[in-house]
Structure 1
Amino acid sequence: MAAALAASLPAPSAAPVVAAPTFAQIPSSMNHLVDVEIEIPVTSVQLDGMVISKIVKHGRGGSAGGACGLLVGLDLDGTLAVSNSFPLPNRAFDDDEKASKSTTRYQASMLRSLKEIQADDSVVGFYQAISLGAFYTQTLLETHAVHQERLRHGGIVVVHDVSPSATGKATFRAFRLSKAFMELYKKSNFTTTGLMGTSLTFSSILEELPVTIRTNPLLSSFLGVMSQSDDTTESSGSALCPNFNSLNLSTAGTTKSLERIIDSLDAYRNEENNLAYISRTIAREKVKVDAALQKRKDENATRVAQGMNPLPEDDVARMFKVPPEPSRLESLVLLGQIDAYAKGLEETAGTSLVKMYAAKASSAV
């Protein structure tokens, strides 16, 4: 039956020969624009005006250490254009596993919502609000390393210092981790030998990228109207309220910077003491291992002289537990904090001294 049915079917016709398509040769200067898989390093960061306003609002509303969020945008031929951002919930009081799962669900929900409204939903990095210029923390570096490993062109971190914002000076800086740090991070080799091999210091952990701000015509018009003088307003002929922050003689910023420096120095001293204790412990254990090995060698020499087989030397090292060399990443982070606080103190101390001398001179008149 099957043979009869096969015989009744029409004979298959020969498939038509399709000519191979021909393509025009692409100029070599256009290869980096056509090949989407090519590795184009990020050389600059462009922040949208809406992103700036969102970060400033989030930094003012919450604590400096807990105000962080994700940045979304596109990589445009080496320029990372950040078009939107959204804050992440602060789960500092929850346990780590529960907080991580909750943050992951919230992040996925926000990205799905952005995709539904056909907005940019590609994560390009995250932002972090800081205080007094210090942003070196081990948590920030580890989070940044995870982003830089998983994102295609490597993620960035935008830090916003909330302290100058009170005086009307908003600061935004963009960073990415250096290749030397990523090399040691992948190997988890922040030991003395690893740091000396890559010449890594606290100042070379991060690489700063230039930041530009992009404003749309509506925002530019709004800022233009706000900055224009208006005779009908009551605030000395300007649409903006007068700012008397420059007349504030308070030295709270200088005092707080000094307190932070002292705390960081105490933490660095404690960390160095812990590293010194562990180093002494390692040295003592190594001395014990060397003594045991020498004793086994002497014993083997005696056995060989007596015509007996020597004992193995590998099991001697297993009898002792030599601690691994400690990581010096925390020391680098604390040095970075001390340097940042010192630079902030250098900026604020000069202004504070000028105000104090001016107030003293005016009171003497």
Structure 2
Amino acid sequence: SGGVEPARGELNHASVSTKKAAHKGKIKALISRKNLIDSSVVLKIIKHYQEEGQGSEVVQGVLLGLVVEDRLEITNCFPFPQHTEDDADFDEVQYQMEMMRSLRHVNIDHLHVGWYQSTYYGSFVSRALLDSQFSYQHAIEESVVLIYDPIKTAQGSLSLKAYRLTPKLMEICKEKDFTPEGLKKASIGFENMFEEVPIIIKNSHLINALMWELEDKSTVADKHELLNLSSSNHLEKSLQLLMDRVDDMCQDIVKYNTYSRNLSKQQQQKHQYLQRRQQENTQRQSRGEPPLPEEDITKMFKPPQPPPRMDTLLIAGQINNYCQNVKEFTSQNLGKLFMAEALQGNN
């Protein structure tokens, strides 16, 4: 999926306002320990996917809100309209700025605090997401990305998680040093690329009263789908996606092994060349001849270009995410199956 670029003009204005609020009695490092999300934002994200998302198609949008003490409050959002490659005149940045100006005119929170994206069976760890989140987080340090999983939500469990780039990864992205040596020096691994921020969904008192009323009116007949024990389709698709990413990882490993062999072969050739040159200079010296002129070895033996390691880390992070999803799903489903077996045994 394509990445989301923030609107720079509005981000600069938002950054000043949020940072002023952040420094009111709190240290900068304590900002965004948790996210407080208004329930209307969650409903808008779900509605956006139901209206425009189809299957594996990803929907994206902008999160708006403010920073209060040690928490980030997300109070509003708006979606990005779906457009094709033929819509060459559509400008996403201009669209964001016009939307935020309109919200400001009606006195609604218009500060940029991040963006949201739907996911397909937990497939969201990608270079596009990394680049987009870096753009947001570089402009406003408190920015987060909300990942909404409609597949898991359809099974009765709301799946909405907030992520930020870790400080180590932010430094690497700023320096654009994605070499194996740079990543190793910064101790960057797939497990410390993203950090999950706890979220709290907040309802107004009127919404809570309405939910209690709706709960009393709901009938048992409407809940029969929650008793469905079938899990093969979800598990099969998750394992298929996991196998695809494992294949990608194997291809990256083959590329790195090829690079290692070529580098080792070149080092041997360089060493043999230096030995021959040293022997020839020794023979010339014994004959009273001047030594051979100095040559630039680095130009003669240019080291092979190492494969990009960041892509491999992203693949490893996505594999880890698939494994966690499968583990979570199977543990819950096994408990449900054992419970159903016990009930059948009693009957």
1:113-152 equivalences under 5 Å are 113-151=102-140
Amino acid at match of 1:175: Y
Alpha-carbon separation, structure 1, partners of 2:93 and 2:88: 10
Amino acid at match of 2:304: P
1:1-365 equivalences under 5 Å are 32-33=23-24, 41-61=31-51, 62-63=53-54, 64=56, 66-91=58-83, 94=85, 98=88, 102-151=91-140, 153-229=141-217, 236=219, 242-251=222-231, 252-296=233-277, 306=288, 308=290, 311-314=293-296, 316-353=297-334, 358=340
Q: CA deviation at 1:322?
A: 2.4
Q: Deviations over 1:172-192 (max 9, x none)?
A: 221111112122222333333
Question: Does structure 2 retain, via aligned residues, the 8 Å contact 1:138–1:333?
Answer: yes
Q: CA deviation at 1:362?
A: 5.0
Alpha-carbon separation, structure 2, partners of 1:360 and 1:113: 58
SS at match of 1:141: helix
Amino acid at match of 1:318: K
Where does the alignment leave 5 or more consecutive residues of structure 1 unmatched? Answer: 1-30, 230-234
Alpha-carbon separation, structure 1, partners of 2:176 and 2:97: 29
Amino acid at match of 2:72: L
The alignment yields a C-alpha RMSD, in angstroms, of: 3.4
Q: CA deviation at 1:157?
A: 1.1
TM-score normalised according to structure 2 size: 0.79
For the structure 1 residues 32 and 338, does the alpha-carbon distance in structure 2 shift closer, same or farther, using more than 3 Å as the test? closer
Alpha-carbon separation, structure 1, partners of 2:74 and 2:249: 36
For the structure 1 residues 298 and 48, does the alpha-carbon distance in structure 2 shift closer, same or farther, using more than 3 Å as the test? farther
Alpha-carbon separation, structure 2, partners of 1:302 and 1:106: 75
Alpha-carbon separation, structure 2, partners of 1:38 and 1:255: 44
SS at match of 1:200: coil
For the structure 1 residues 145 and 297, does the alpha-carbon distance in structure 2 shift closer, same or farther, using more than 3 Å as the test? farther
TM-score normalised according to structure 1 size: 0.76
For the structure 1 residues 139 and 309, does the alpha-carbon distance in structure 2 shift closer, same or farther, using more than 3 Å as the test? same
SS at match of 1:242: helix
Q: Which has the larger radius of gyration?
A: 1
For the structure 1 residues 41 and 264, does the alpha-carbon distance in structure 2 shift closer, same or farther, using more than 3 Å as the test? same
Q: CA deviation at 1:310?
A: 5.6
Alpha-carbon separation, structure 2, partners of 1:38 and 1:173: 23
